[in-house]
Chains A and B, each alone.
Chain A
Amino acid sequence: MADANLPASGPASGETSRRSFLRTSAVLASGIAALAASLAPLRELTDYTAVEKFFQKHYKELTPDEMKQVLERIAREVEKQYQVRPHVRDYKPLDGVEFVYCLNLTRCIGCRKCVHACVAENNQSRDPEIQYIRVLKMPHGSLDVEKADHNYAPASVPEKGFFYMPVQCQQCKNPPCVKVCPVRATWQESDGITVIDYDWCIGCRYCEAACPYFARRFNWTKPSIPKERLNPEMSYLGNRPRRQGVMEKCHFCIQRTRAGRYPACLEVCPAGARKFGNVLDPESEVAYILRTKRVFIQLKEEVGTSPRFFYYFDV
């Protein structure tokens, strides 16, 4: 910059002003053209955000009427995309219920049937693949996850010298993911399930960084599910199809458990390693296990999250 080149003020001659006008227009036009060219990829945008969707309120602020409209809209969208008419409901937590999961490490054989039952039940993306449950193959004698094998693929399970530890959302009583979310898109319900409003999440992934259990999954791109694999029994906070750019995770199969059924991972387990129920009911299986087992484990107890997911052994 040799000088400040202060713009000339005052009248310029006709010739100069015409020339400078032409030059300015040329620069402006090429600038706009360059900007338009750089924005060209946006033409592939098919999933426009509708105005009603853009201004949709937070789950907790929707009136029952508004919720009805939202559920109707979701059903319409699912039908349009998958040609399947779904039943989308908003299941509320039940009074006097606190769900707890118990998993018997002595029984688990590492077959990963739970992983796939979960994917099928909860409409997780098949491509790219999203799974809520991660089964760790661990050498006998240690609970140190650093010794775990995540990608074991032997001809048959179980293998000698190892035990298997499935890990999914631990539904903590003191969930770090809820604390860090800047927009309260994830919270803990009265029955102990930590849920996500997929229509409110901004996709900052702070919860994913905060989770000590690697339980959260992000939709790095548009999820895809084959039409014939879609589970049409859906819930707003649970297994309805997600969009690109939002977080999801295990929600104890809200659409089943709040309707009095067992989670899909439990039903499919061939070894009977999984137990689920209302811990506030003294007659429940989980209450019995927590009362009678001498040792059970909450993963990473030292982090202070206080999981509602308990690992135990047959002794």
Chain B
Amino acid sequence: MSLTTKTRNYFVFLWRCGRIAFSGDWRYYAWMGFLSLFVLLGINAYAKQFVHGLITTGMSDQVSWGVYIANFTFIVGIAAAAAMVVIPVYIYGNRELHDMVIFGELLAVAAILMCLAFVTVDLGRPDRFWHLIPGIGKFNFPGSMLSWDVIVLNGYLLLNVHICGYLLYCRYSGRLPAKWFYIPFVFVAIAWAVSIHTVTAFLYVGLGGRPFWNSSIVGPRFLASAFTAGPALIILAMQIVRRVTATAPPAEAARWREATPETGTRRPATLADLEVLGRHLPELGSVPTEARRGIVETATLLEVGPGVILLHQGDTDKEAFFVLKGRVVVMRQEAGRFRITRSAGPGEQFGEVSALAGTPREATAIAEEAATVLRLPVEALRKLMKTPPMNKVVRARMSERLMITDRALMMLRSIVQVSMLINVFLLVNEIFKEFYSRTSHVASSRYLFFGLHGHHALVPWIWTAILFNLVAMFLLVLPVSRSLKYLNLACVLAILGIWIEKGMGLVVPGFIPTPLGEMVEYSPSLNETLVCLGIWAFGLLCYTVFLRMSIPILQGRLTQANEGDNGAARSFRSVSAAHEQAAYH
């Protein structure tokens, strides 16, 4: 393929992703409109701050960082937590979480964008941002921890954009990702995730004049709370994705038919059929003729019309399929709702996951248009996979699906469970050290937990946070949180508790009392709050758009192959239109 074609294809990919971000049903528009409203309010508030200065906030010389830096600190943790989805997959080979890696990394991208926004709005001279650019400005590296933060945050952003962007583009263009082009980055990103949060902790830990922060436990506490709040957020987000990508049974469901002699033809497969498949699946060329003969002997060729069911969710037959012509959509049914998990075109397979694993079918496959498929028993599939190229392509495509299983969520639950226990344990350590020794350095902690010299603005907040953390911890440890309802409650409480404790509970008391013993309290102004809401809305907007673009790609419904393919597009739209009809009437 020439470079021009490659470039063109890439821009078409970006263009199509961009268009999808602007299309959706009324719920999508309502949600995006709601977020945009808050983004605009935030921009408006920031414009005021830009003109009048940071006096529009509640900060002062005494408490010189507030909710901006507090939110920044919390969200760095959310970004770091993407590693908690990646580690089980790439280090321990966990398959359940594999399907969620991209969603975790996209969350990291959205989170880092929010972090950068929070730091930027905190600057007194945002017009001088270029002083921070290494090589152009005057970068105090490695002296200033803030310069480290600039490097690790932007580096983490690039790593994750590269990994997600590359994997999604490969999926879109139907190519297999080249391992050397992303696996090394995945491992770098894991270490990097730890670094972004450690460096952020060191921003505080390195300040000798602030005893509340100048404590070696701050770094470990940051990591423990991040690895609690981050996966907790992913648990909630994935259920939302699962929910909104599912629809009521499509209207055509009534017309779905079994594959019978009336709905299509079937005949024993021939070597010529394998040739046809080989045109779409070049890796098949590696299978010797002798092996091919053995394979076609047991294989069947099916030609079916649209709406014909090729395999049923829950069945225990052991056969795999390859598409020779047309398109097959695979749908999973959960609690009466349907979700497209993948869509297979010529050369692509379906039904292989459960066939190889010997488990019941996880979804139902239906011909979306007139289709020709090759059906093989699992033994024949195993023979095909004996050559390394075939083994590689089949295994790689096995993970190309949109699947969010309860088992994956339970895997995340055990991560949140352990992290939460460590988090609370470290908190207890810190409380003991502060209050048992009762040195003069306990002033900030006393202010935070009990109030000092008649000032106690943070006392109700921190006790709320501790209550939330403890309830979340008990829920997570008890078997009740194996039910999603209680798991979700635990996640919400954990996120809120950590947000308070690590945001306001860490940043603000570090300033109170001042190094000269003055008591000045802080509470955010309305304008400052609007800026924060704007950035949160911006982050959610980014994440929604990322999901909006990546879901059809992961489902195999937005591919390079269907660019300009009107037949396929029309057929999708007719299915979609029917879905919508069914969903809202």
Which A positions have Cβ atoms within 8 angstroms of B?
1-10, 34-35, 37-42, 44-45, 49, 54, 58, 61, 128, 134, 136, 144-148, 150, 167, 176, 179-185, 200-206, 208-214, 216-222, 243-247, 300, 303-305
Contact = CB atoms under 8 A, between A and B. Distances in A.
Contacts of A54: 127
Given A5-B23, A183-B140, A211-B515, A202 B247 contact: no
Interface of B: 16, 19-20, 23-25, 27-28, 36, 40-41, 43-44, 47-48, 50-55, 59-62, 64-65, 119, 122-129, 131-132, 137-140, 143-147, 150, 203, 206-210, 244-245, 247, 440, 443, 510-511, 513-518, 548, 551-552, 555, 557-558, 562-566, 569, 572-573, 575-576, 579-580, 583-584
B555 A4 contact: yes
Given A2-B576, A44-B51, 13 more contacts: A2-B25, A3-B580, A4-B551, A4-B555, A6-B569, A7-B16, A8-B573, A9-B563, A38-B40, A145-B516, A183-B128, A201-B124, A246-B124
8 contacts: A2-B579, A8-B573, A180-B146, A184-B138, A200-B138, A206-B203, A216-B61, A220-B53
A145 B513 CA distance: 10
Contacts, number: 241
A275 B506 CA distance: 40
Given A41-B51, A214-B61, A217-B61, A204 B209 contact: no
Contact of B139 (A9, A167, A183, A305): A183
A245 B566 CA distance: 56
A221 B55 contact: yes
A3 B245 CA distance: 7
B40 A136 contact: no
Contacts of A210: 207, 209-210
A128 B518 CA distance: 19
Contacts of A45: 50-51
B131 A202 contact: yes
Contacts of B23: 5-7
A205 B126 CA distance: 13
B552 A200 contact: no
A304 to B, nearest CB: 6
A219 B123 CA distance: 12
A4 B557 contact: yes
Name A's interface SS: loop
A146 B517 contact: yes
B507 to A, nearest CB: 9
Given A41-B44, A220-B55, A5 B209 contact: no
A1 B24 contact: yes
Given A4-B20, A183-B137, A205-B124, A150 B55 contact: no
Contacts of B54: 203, 218, 220-221, 245
Nearest to A245: B124
B524 to A, nearest CB: 14
Given A203-B124, A209-B210, A4 B140 contact: no
Question: Of residues A144, A182, A221, which shows the largest number of chain B Cβ atoms within 10 Å of its Cβ?
Answer: A182
Contact of B569 (A10, A34, A128, A214): A10
A212 B124 contact: no
B65 A205 contact: yes
A241 to B, nearest CB: 15
Question: Of residues A40, A201, A209, A222, which shows the largest number of chain B Cβ atoms within 10 Å of its Cβ?
Answer: A209
Listed from nearest, the 5 A-B pairs whose CB atoms lie closest are A203-B124, A212-B209, A245-B124, A3-B576, A4-B552
A145 B443 CA distance: 12
Contacts of A167: 516
A6 B558 contact: yes
Contacts of B514: 214
B53 A244 contact: yes
Contact of B558 (A4, A61, A134, A209): A4
B552 A183 contact: no
A150 B36 CA distance: 46
A213 to B, nearest CB: 6
B207 A38 contact: no
Contacts of B19: 7
Contact of A146 (B60, B443, B584): B443
A285 to B, nearest CB: 27
